[in-house]
Amino acid sequence: MNTLSIRLKKIYAAIICLGLVSSAAWADLDADVLVLQKQWAEVNYQIEGKDQISAFERLIIDADAVVVANPKQAAPLIWRGIIKSTLAGKKGGLGALGLAKAAKKDLEKSIILDATAMQGSALTSLGTLYLNVPGWPVGFGSDKKAEKFLLKAIAINPDGIDSNYFYADFLVAKKRNQEAATYFRKAQNAAPRLNRPLADAGRQKEIATALESIN
């Protein structure tokens, strides 16, 4: 066997090894993200009060570890941003503004990496932040930016439960109830997410409550 053949075989073997390592890394990332998704749903829909606040704070620490282990992946940043923004909403008041700003930073970084990751979830979450955070000079809230990001999320995931629910929520806040009902119904009819049954069940309850209130 000549020297060139030996070198090519070594290169081929190295490529195979890299592929195996890459596949294993992706599997680990997917598993870690699924854990964050599951734990977020459990904390958000099954725990209340001070215990819920503490659980979200612990979950941020878990998300930190996933982000550090996967610095160039969008999904861990998205979930850390979602967890921080959810906790900010639970805490409320000006004390939550720091969490909201940290969530915004995570979501913006994830969009730079991949705006379509998790079917545009970062865009949905960022739009919701812009809607709910106070505007200048207290915070960074902006109805115009909120709608821009929420519509971008709809463009990426037109039939998704979250993309439609949160845009409908925006429309309710702007007293555009007739439009909101259309998007709530689209969210209500979204295909179930097989790996997120608890989150879907909780969101469907929120949709039903919202439709009842505007009708």
What CATH code is carried by the domain that includes residue 74?
1.25.40.10
Reported confidence tier of residue 136, pLDDT bands at 50, 70, 90: very high
8 A C-beta contact, residue 150 and residue 167: yes
**Separation of CA 9 from chain center:** 43
Q: For residue 131, tell me if it sits in a domain.
A: yes
Q: What one-letter code names the amino acid at 102?
A: A
Q: For residue 164, tell me if it sits in a domain.
A: no
pLDDT > 60? residue 148: yes
Mean pLDDT for the chain overall: 89
Q: For residue 135, tell me if it sits in a domain.
A: yes
Whole-angstrom distance, CA of residue 163 vs CA of residue 183: 9
Q: For residue 204, tell me if it sits in a domain.
A: no
Closest alpha carbon to 78 in 9, 156, 12 = 156
Q: For residue 183, tell me if it sits in a domain.
A: no
pLDDT > 80? residue 172: yes
Q: For residue 35, tell me if it sits in a domain.
A: yes
pLDDT tens digits, one per residue of 38-56: 999 999 999 999 999 999 9
Q: For residue 93, tell me if it sits in a domain.
A: yes
Whole-angstrom distance, CA of residue 171 vs CA of residue 169: 5
Domain of residue 113 covers: 3-157
- pTM for this prediction: 0.86
Coil, strand or helix: which one is 171?
helix
